[in-house]
């Protein structure tokens, strides 16, 4: 069980670093808002994070 938790944490940190590298500080803010909103089951915060991420993805494409 601890190995799975470490692997998931490593994947999350890697994903966060990838977003920061590609989309800068705004990508990190959006990712944090999305993850905090999902953990807290707050639809407004997670929706704001998702919208910002979608806008960043659409802008880069």
Asked if residue 35 lies in contact with residue 19, where contact means CB atoms within 8 angstroms, the answer is: no
Q: Which two tokens stand for residue 1?
A: 């069980």
Can you tell me the distance from the alpha carbon of 49 to that of 42, in angstroms, rounded to the nearest whole number?
A: 11
What pLDDT does 45 receive?
Answer: 92
Mean of the per-residue pLDDT values for the chain?
A: 85
Asked if residue 55 lies in contact with residue 47, where contact means CB atoms within 8 angstroms, the answer is: no
What pLDDT does 1 receive?
Answer: 66
What pLDDT does 47 receive?
Answer: 93
Asked if residue 37 lies in contact with residue 49, where contact means CB atoms within 8 angstroms, the answer is: yes
pLDDT digits (tens, 9 = 90+) for 1-26: 688 888 888 888 888 788 778 778 88
């Amino acid at each position: 069980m601890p190995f799975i938790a470490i692997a998931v944490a490593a994947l999350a940190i890697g994903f966060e670093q990838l977003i920061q590298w590609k989309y800068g500080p705004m990508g990190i803010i959006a990712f944090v808002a999305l993850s905090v909103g999902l953990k807290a089951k707050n639809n407004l915060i997670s929706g704001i994070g998702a919208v910002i991420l979608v806008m960043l993805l659409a802008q880069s494409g």
